Structure 1
């Protein structure tokens, strides 16, 4: 069987690592995923074991290659995608002094507020493109400096999970511009570490990895690890970028005005610009893809996880019925929501069960049902939750539009895209046509595409668009769009009026 010309995309995510083997035209040959837990030793903390993640990388590469009957010499290149914002302190031997503190960790909420209010946080954002928020390594480093000073002083390097994996493979500390630009420490104009921010943190450039382009090719892999994964030690490994940035490539949202919307556990909206572009109001991020492509966007904390919350906490009857019928409980919940008109008969939901990132960047925001009356039933609450997720995504899209201009094409991916009803709801909310690409491995495909570009197998990342088939197409219902626009104005006003109350209830919850 012909197996020549394969490229591998490794996607190191929040809850799992997946390795996908593709043809050089982006078709999936084989894949394998390994899950791992999030460790929460204290309220608001979220950590992972970096060595467990390294083991997942080795395992998934090995098994995916085996599943695809791929020979080592068939692999033209490997690209790496990773989640952003992780922070690990390591010693001189590269051993971790901390777990990987991930994006979902909120321990540095006070430090983020301090940065914004007293340390020129907005100016730091405009230079670095990373919103001031507990997710960012900048806030986490300030927390460590203030709360764990001995650990902070003893650290040899501060790195991300991608840098940790690369160090295990190559014994080198390098970081791609994309991951670096999501730290809050990286100057977008100079493409190097921001000396003023480092001075504020009292750390040196020697304590950080060397920044390199996303097309940088690593060499000198440890032979024993290459053998463990079933690849040649001289296989070109391209450092790649962050998962969100690469997801745009993987769904073909590369042209100006083309946006990618992902709703999985959380959500995100992103578009690509030809220049650095930050927001005067600090609502969006600006991260590097290449030195000619910048991704402007915003992540939300609350996506499909809210439907899971509904299922687990309030959906016992649905789970039992679904079990008897042999169907997915989510399908039953969504079927109930379909019986309710757009706007959920005036039941509005602010979906901030995990605080919120874009566009508000408020870790204290909390979930709120508004407008409840005696006529509202469980199906109204289900629909209101789904609509609330769409409203949060729409609010990010509006912020991006203010920065880059109109979004003319929208491509969607993530778990929500499996539901025709939820896709149509988002189309109605946005007032835009939605395209659903065939690929369900967007970040891995993006990593593979950058690898092919780096080794000269493709001439531009725009070629990826030709690989991707559109399998669904949604046109907005104008009547529903008008309803949602009216509801969205209430959504924004309600958030603004509740900001102080969110601070109060969050402080109360932290005391419990």
Structure 2
């Protein structure tokens, strides 16, 4: 029998399971849509139990569709959306809903920190900006607004850490993701208690799982997970990757001469650096890369395809072919209609919101779609231009 490897990708909108042969060739992919909950303005949550059920379902469907048995899978890795907050209580049960990185409930807290110059204090150690979707911002919000929940925190995780725990029963925070949490000292490669002290959340230090490597075998599929997924008990599971890092890796980015742009829920432009740099034009976000001595550097905001997905959901089912045809039917840049793609916020300002501007009776659905395309593309261009100030050897 042939051997295969299984990859799981959990983004903002879709959960995908892919099957790959020994040469890295894609054999098949199964996907399921993910549902975000928004019980209050600015809140973006996910049901943790439902996510695990969907994870089991998409893996099971992949194996059934391909006819591959669980015993043929040699290993599994997960890439996932970064930031946000997945909490377990002290009995290892999901503690409320997960909070996603596009959530903005912690805006007042981050604004307070900005007035107190906390981001400037953190950046030399963490190489992170400080915004509403960071685990630390959300933890502080839980502490101030849900103190009983805060007192019950047993483990602090992010998306792929939680799914890996569901599969293996072993806790860990994967390095490429936790390095961008404001809990991690980029120079030492470890948690730094000074950070939680400055942020007023030092009580959670004991709830931070060990940092694990991306390619490190962190555990094995449990008998319970095997029954749900169809995988064989004992199958090794590696740490995985923050999805921004995985896209750079899959794009073949190796040095400072090339940048990678991703149009997902987030607009992300990333590059690979061989060291940390000081006195840069912008407070670029750094993170641990898969190779020792290298760092991923990126500019990003939640201003990409999530805007289009929200819009099309309001109009009923529209295929991408229909959308592309509608946009292509109009003159390029020929409309006075503008769209600001800040449905889930922007890194340009905490309080920025979304909107159409210049709308008149003559505008049709096609004009609205065209404006969304333009708004998203210009947001990407903003990130690209900033990154080219850092990566001066890039030719485009």
- Give TM-score, length-normalised by structure 2: 0.88
Gaps of 5+ in 1: 409-431, 433-512
Aligned residues of 2:323 and 2:369 also touching (Cα < 8 A): no
- Select 1:135's aligned residue among 124, 130, 133: 133
Aligned residues of 1:125 and 1:282 also touching (Cα < 8 A): no
Q: Mark the structure with the bigger radius of gyration.
A: 1
Cα gap change, 1:222/1:373 in structure 2, threshold over 3 Å: closer, same or farther?
A: closer
Q: 2: distance between equivalents of 1:43 and 1:387?
A: 26
Aligned residues of 2:9 and 2:80 also touching (Cα < 8 A): yes
Cα gap change, 1:208/1:377 in structure 2, threshold over 3 Å: closer, same or farther?
A: same
Offset at 1:240? 1.0
Q: 2: distance between equivalents of 1:15 and 1:351?
A: 17
Q: 2: distance between equivalents of 1:42 and 1:204?
A: 26
Residue of structure 2 equivalent to 1:238: 238
The number of residue pairs the alignment matches comes to 392
Q: 2: distance between equivalents of 1:308 and 1:214?
A: 31
Q: Where does 1:308-347 land on structure 2 (aligned, <5 Å)?
A: 308=309, 311=312, 328-337=321-330, 340-341=331-332, 343-344=333-334
Cα gap change, 1:373/1:159 in structure 2, threshold over 3 Å: closer, same or farther?
A: closer
Offset at 1:132? 0.9
Q: 2: distance between equivalents of 1:195 and 1:22?
A: 40
Gaps of 5+ in 2: none
Q: Where does 1:76-95 land on structure 2 (aligned, <5 Å)?
A: 76-95=74-93
**RCO comparison, higher one (Cα < 8 Å, 6+):** 1
Offset at 1:395? 0.8
Cα gap change, 1:354/1:101 in structure 2, threshold over 3 Å: closer, same or farther?
A: closer
Residue of structure 1 equivalent to 2:341: 351
Determine helix, strand or coil for the equivalent of 1:219.
Answer: strand
Offset at 1:384? 4.0
State which drifts further: 273-282 or 55-64.
Answer: 273-282
Q: 1: distance between equivalents of 2:218 and 2:360?
A: 63
State which drifts further: 201-210 or 132-141.
Answer: 201-210
Residue of structure 2 equivalent to 1:20: 18
More helix as a share of residues: 1
- Give TM-score, length-normalised by structure 1: 0.70
State which drifts further: 72-81 or 132-141.
Answer: 72-81
Cα gap change, 1:277/1:7 in structure 2, threshold over 3 Å: closer, same or farther?
A: farther
Offset at 1:390? 1.3
1:61 has 2:59 as partner: yes
1:394 has 2:381 as partner: yes
Aligned residues of 2:12 and 2:265 also touching (Cα < 8 A): no
Offset at 1:374? 8.2
Cα gap change, 1:355/1:6 in structure 2, threshold over 3 Å: closer, same or farther?
A: same
Offset at 1:101? 0.6
Residue of structure 1 equivalent to 2:264: 264
Offset at 1:242? 0.9
Q: 2: distance between equivalents of 1:94 and 1:281?
A: 43
**Alignment root-mean-square deviation, CA:** 2.8
Aligned residues of 2:193 and 2:202 also touching (Cα < 8 A): no
1:296 has 2:307 as partner: no
Q: 2: distance between equivalents of 1:42 and 1:279?
A: 40
Offset at 1:349? 4.5
